[in-house]
Structure 1
Amino acid sequence: MTERYDVVIIGGGPAGAGASYELADAGAKVLVIEKAKYPRPKLCAGCISKRSVDLFPAFSIKNSIKGGILGFKGQEFVEKVSDECAVIVDREEFDHFLISKAQEKGAHLLEETTVKEIELTPTVRKVITDKGVFEADYVIGADGYHSVTRKSIACKSASRKFFIAIEVKVPKDMFKDFKEDEVLIDIGVVKKGYGWYFPQGEFVNIGIATAEKEDLLNIFKAYTKNHKLFP
């Protein structure tokens, strides 16, 4: 028997989990379909703007950010503010927290499930998965770069390249000149890419990403050495 919902949400990241929380809180019958199982790792520095904080239920904050450094070809441009302008979260914890709050409001969650196709008719939307078919009045596509939702509604997108990245978490006491309220985004340290440093609780999240085929490991080693990130 096909199950029917008011809304089916594909993807359980902050967008999907946040939408499910609001809809369930308003009384809608909601299903979130997530391809992984919570808590799941997510390559992300976890920076959320101050404007966005109030959109979510109260959550655990690792750091309060009051400034940032934009690096470009060896030059650094610093901006500091007196008040909090962003916060840092751990995405593995944050995403799990959000979907748990949505479930408390009555949202249904289906994990480790792959969406294969979405069929659209004038009266219903059918979400076809490897675990069955689910009908809904509305479908929200929060399924990221490889969006099945976009493909199913034949929405064309501009040609884009994949980014590849390396991200590591280093204990903050190993980091030189640690600043718990400041982030760094470094443009141009790699072709068509950037590097970053974000404080994250007891750790520092350091990474580098590019759209080019590069020897990222050696570039990353050179990046941390050139910037003297470690003692």
Structure 2
Amino acid sequence: MAEQVGTLRRAPLSRDRILRAAVALADGAGIGSLSMRNLAQDLGVVPMALYKHVANKDELLDGMIDVVVGEIDPLVPDADWKHALRERILSARQALRRHPWAPLAIESRSMATPAILAYLDSMVGRLRAGGFSADLAHHVMHAMGSRILGFSQELFDPSRQAGRSGTAEPDPPAALPPEIAARFPHLAEIATAASHDDASVVGPGCDDQFEFEFALDLLLDGIERLHRRGWTSRHVPR
């Protein structure tokens, strides 16, 4: 690590070097640690030197997001639309898992970055090339939501609900307090219904990768059925 930092400090300052150093800083210490001052310190330069390459922190975040999106595998060539989308979405998920701050950073932006727009455009393009109408492709993108980028807002993830992001392992499932369980019996029933593997790569608790792929496959299977039926959202007069 010290050798890597030394190499970074010897390299000429550039936009790409700044962005990759910012990604490394957020990966190691969390997005909350990101500041122009901390970044300059990591790079061994004065903060003002950064502004020659990035105008402000918003531009820095946009560039960091584009670095992460650049790690996503391209669409599988010569594959049917369903396989191509599934493989690329799972690649996107792995990229975002390497950078736990990225989902909230993406959600925080008021406008999509150029790399995100290019990514989404290519996914719609594959749907259209697969015979999807523009109408169905439109609704598919809505249904996929952030899952098309490899993440989803986890309903039962307290850190997501609190607006935080980190690398801490999730807590094992716990039974709801009796008074809460009595008031909300159906939630109590499913709270610990799934099997949990302490040796899972995603840690104890709900297997996030399984849950993500389960929902992704449900969506893709349903989309495939609509496509085969020639589904349209246009209302046909009775």
TM-score (norm 1): 0.23
The higher-RCO structure (CA 8 Å, 6+ apart) is: 1
**Which has more helix, going by share of residues?**
2
Higher alpha-carbon Rg = 2
**Which has more strand, going by share of residues?**
1
TM-score (norm 2): 0.23
